[in-house]
Structure formats: C-alpha cells, structure tokens
C-alpha cells in the first residue's frame, strides 16, 4: 500500500453530527436509511446509508455519527445525499456505524 502524505489526509473533512431525522428508503437499490444529520455550523445535511442490518430509522435519531462532508453531493434514487456517513463492515459484511463513545459537540472534526 502506498503511504498517504499527511497533507492529503488533512483534505478529508470528517465531522461528527447528530441524526435528527431518519426514515426508510425503499426506493434505493440496496436497503438503506435516509438520515438528516446536524453537523453544527455546517447545518443539517442529508445522507443515505446502507445500515439496515443493524439499525432501524427510529433507533438512529439522537445518535452521533462520523461523516465525510467534502465529497460532494450524490443523487441516490432521487435523494440528495450530501455527506458520507462512515462505518465498518462486520464479519457478515453488514455496516456498523462509526460513532464517538462519548458525546462531543456537533461539527467537531476528527483528528
């Protein structure tokens, strides 16, 4: 694997936010959940995440998640996904969300 210069990593903006709204996304090709995430000064941004194996929309409201906020907007089945909500695959390949283990202010940057 080719090493990444620290300056390159600094370009990726990873911020924490709180899910303020979540709902099923049956129109998506793969099972997904629509989320609206409060990212502090950045405001509330939309995200589509394939996390239905471990989460239900109602269980996500109030949860803090880590998002990449500077990848641009993607349209997924007509839904504007403005940030990438991050996670890791478990042993079955299902996504487990990346979350802080203690509350932190919305908009805090990962470093």
Specify whether the CB–CB gap between 58 and 98 falls below 8 A.
no
Residue 61: inside a domain, yes or no? yes
Residue 68: inside a domain, yes or no? yes
Per-residue confidence (pLDDT) for residue 111, from 0 to 100: 80
Residue 110: inside a domain, yes or no? no
CA separation for the pair 79, 63 (Å, rounded): 21
Q: Could you read off the pLDDT of 56-97 as tens digits, one per residue?
A: 999 999 999 999 999 999 999 999 999 999 999 999 999 999
For 59, the domain range is 13-97
The CATH number of residue 45's host domain is: 2.40.50.140
Give pTM, 2 decimals: 0.94
Residue 111: inside a domain, yes or no? no
Q: How many structural domains comprise the chain?
A: 1
């Amino acid at each position: 694997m080719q090493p990444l210069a620290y300056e390159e990593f600094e370009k990726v903006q990873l911020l924490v936010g709180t899910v303020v709204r979540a709902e099923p996304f049956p129109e998506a090709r793969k099972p997904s959940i629509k989320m609206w995430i409060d990212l502090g000064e950045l405001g509330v941004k939309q995200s589509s995440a394939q996390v239905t194996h471990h989460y239900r929309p109602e269980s996500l409201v109030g949860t803090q998640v880590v998002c990449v906020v500077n990848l641009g907007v993607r349209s997924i089945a007509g839904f504007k996904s403005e940030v990438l909500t991050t996670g890791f695959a478990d042993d079955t390949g299902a996504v487990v969300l990346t979350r802080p283990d203690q509350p932190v202010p919305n908009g805090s940057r990962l470093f």
